[in-house]
Amino acid sequence: MPLVAGVDTSTQSCKIVVRDAATGELVRSGSAKHPDGTEVHPDHWWTAFTRAAEAAGGLADVAAIAVGGQQHGMVVLDTEGRVIRDALLWNDTRSAGAAESLITELGDGDRAAGAQRWADAVGSVLVASLTVTKLRWLHDSEPENAAKVAAVALPHDWLSWRIAGYGPAGDPSAPLGPDLNALFTDRSDASGTGYYDAQGADGAGEYRPDLLRMALGRDDVVLPRVLGPAESGGVAHPSVAGADVDGGALIGPGAGDNAGAALGAGMTPGDVAISIGTSGVVSAVAPRRTADGSGAINGFADATGNALMLAVTLNAARVLDAAREVLGADFDELASLALRAPAGSDGLVLVPYLEGERTPNRPDATGTLHGIRLATSTRPHLARAYVEGMLCGLADGLDALRAQGVPVERVMLIGGAAQSPAVQEIAPQVFGLPIAVPEPGEYVADGAARQAAWVLATAEKAGSEPTTDAGATAVPEPPAWSATIATTLAADPRPVIREQYARVRDLV
């Protein structure tokens, strides 16, 4: 059977999985680190991709490949395909002021009206994460760089473009040169830019050049063409992938990381995933997106044609990292300590805005610790307060989804921190719901691989040619890979945890 590759180009690293296209069985994998920081030159992503591919045994034998990637990052290219300045990542908050300006401007001076208009237009009220705010920051703060912009891409778009053989003029790793019109993306990642309406054009989706113009001052730049869920963007350059496969390796449209993870986990409408990684994400698949003017919920697209509702926190697994640093504990000891303290940690409450926050939108906030007494100044109490604070922020996101009428039928806990015994015991107490914990996996890379298999099957069904119209194929669903549920945690509601947190979360 043919092999497919899925790539996760995340904030922290590049991970590649190679899987059997029919069964989803893992054949091999590889990874490589990305540099730290909130602004990174994309060349580091290319270097990490090539190293991860080498660690995975090469990609010459894969028949299709797709890329899932960190959302929102701003990659700006000049006419020669060169990166103009380091990419601003999703977690760079310098454009918070730009976000507020754009909200007020669309509301003709009325912020509340502007917030609702943005939600109606693109599904999200602007925060510093979204690409459109970073373009306004570029326009205002670096006008000389803004004037050079010929194309704007997202991290996964840029890496897919490089896999196809395109890139900066004169770069030997980019034999096809700087064809900016060869850039492509998908609806899920485009829906997080702030200038793409996934429900526009009668549900087909469309860019909003008027909103792009508000940010950058012009709209005469190349934006990646938006592909359908099973549509191929082209063929990988044989120096990168598919050299041993007849016709080469098809490149899938890719996806934003959350949409990729939803596809990898097999989520369908009614499913909610709580992901505890670098960021914390509460995501739900639904038939249509919301338009939440409060900003608590982002209404994006998923990777299958549905909507993906997201509540995102900047502070998730890194809260546990901070706790380990404060307590001088490793991962296992932190969990053990946290489980020695009672639910509610005897009134010790952490509001974990350690790097500002996105939901709620408080980019300049700091974390606060409430209820410090002699009795709560113990390592177990501190450990538990950090875990509970992190989970309470995510529980607020779940409440916001419900308030928008998003159906919640099944809750899954994923991400690296989901394997912590303390997180698994405390989460059912905070959420008050039964929670399914799938087997650990690289869900973004797995979702990208599943998409690659879908693209391959669609092309084969259409006569072994890349489809040009995703809606005209006879392969309506992705391959039936499924995540294995390792355990189901019984609901164990402890209201004191949420009640204490609610009393202090706004005292920042």
Could you read off the pLDDT of 47-69 as tens digits, one per residue?
999 999 999 999 999 999 999 99
With residue 104 as reference, give the H or E element that holds it.
helix 96-106
- As given in the structure block, the two tokens for residue 502 are 């609610």
Tens-digit pLDDT profile for residues 342-401: 999 999 999 999 988 878 878 889 999 999 999 999 999 999 999 999 999 999 999 989
Neighbours of 155 (CB within 10 A): 29
- As given in the structure block, the two tokens for residue 340 are 């020695």
> Helix axis angle, 317-327 relative to 331-338, nearest 10°?
90
The mean per-residue pLDDT over the stretch 1-9 comes to: 95
- Any catalytic annotation for residue 257? yes
Work out the percent of the chain whose per-residue pLDDT is above 70.
Answer: 97
Amino acid (1-letter code) at residue 1:
M
166: confidence class by pLDDT, cuts 50, 70, 90: very high
The confidence score (pLDDT) of residue 477 equals 83
473: confidence class by pLDDT, cuts 50, 70, 90: very low
C-beta of residue 217 within 8 angstroms of C-beta of residue 259: no
Amino acid (1-letter code) at residue 422:
A
With residue 444 as reference, give the H or E element that holds it.
helix 443-461
Concatenated DSSP letters of 197-234: ETTTTTTT-EE-HHHHHHHHS---SB-PEEEPTT---E
Query: Considering Cα of 493, then 494, then 496, then 498, what sign does the dihedral take?
Result: negative
Of the candidate ranges 71-80, 352-361, 385-394, 454-463, the one whose mean pLDDT is the lowest: 352-361
34 labelled binding-site residue: no
What does the alpha-carbon distance between residue 490 and residue 373 come to, in Å, rounded to a whole number? 32
Classify 501 as helix, strand or coil: helix
The b-or-e profile of 22-35 (16+ CB within 10 A means b, else e) is eebeeeebbbbebe
What does the alpha-carbon distance between residue 277 and residue 283 come to, in Å, rounded to a whole number? 13
Beta bridge pairs of residue 26: 19
The confidence score (pLDDT) of residue 476 equals 62
φ, ψ at 399 (rounded to 5°):
-60, -40
How do the domains of the chain map onto residue ranges? 3-253, 266-441+478-508
What residues contact 303, with CB distance under 8 A and at least 6 apart? 186, 187, 188, 229, 255, 259, 260, 262, 263, 447, 451
Among 173, 188, 202, residue whose Cα is nearest residue 81? 173
With residue 96 as reference, give the H or E element that holds it.
helix 96-106
C-beta of residue 115 within 8 angstroms of C-beta of residue 293: yes
Torsion of the alpha carbons at 205, 210, 212 and 214, rounded to the nearest 10: -150
Mean pLDDT for the chain overall:
93
Residue 336 zone, left/alpha/beta (φ > 0; ψ -120 to 50; rest): alpha
Q: What is the CATH number of domain 3-253?
A: 3.30.420.40
Concatenated DSSP letters of 140-165: HH-HHHHTT--EEE-HHHHHHHHHTT
- Asked whether this chain's domains 3-253 and 266-441+478-508 adopt the same fold, the reply is yes
| Selected catalytic residue, list 8, 86, 197, 257 | 257
pLDDT at residue 467 tops 70: no
Classify 334 as helix, strand or coil: helix
pTM to 2 decimal places = 0.88
What does the alpha-carbon distance between residue 289 and residue 475 come to, in Å, rounded to a whole number? 24
The mean per-residue pLDDT over the stretch 170-193 comes to: 97
pLDDT at residue 419 tops 80: yes
Tens-digit pLDDT profile for residues 258-273: 999 999 988 888 889 9
What does the alpha-carbon distance between residue 339 and residue 327 come to, in Å, rounded to a whole number? 15
- As given in the structure block, the two tokens for residue 448 are 């990208």
Q: Tell whether domain 266-441+478-508 is in CATH 3.90.1150.200.
A: no
The mean per-residue pLDDT over the stretch 181-186 comes to: 98
70 labelled binding-site residue: no
The count of residues in the chain is: 508
- As given in the structure block, the two tokens for residue 473 are 């194929």
Q: For the chain, what percentages of helix, strand and coil (3-state, to nearest 5) are there?
A: 35, 20, 45
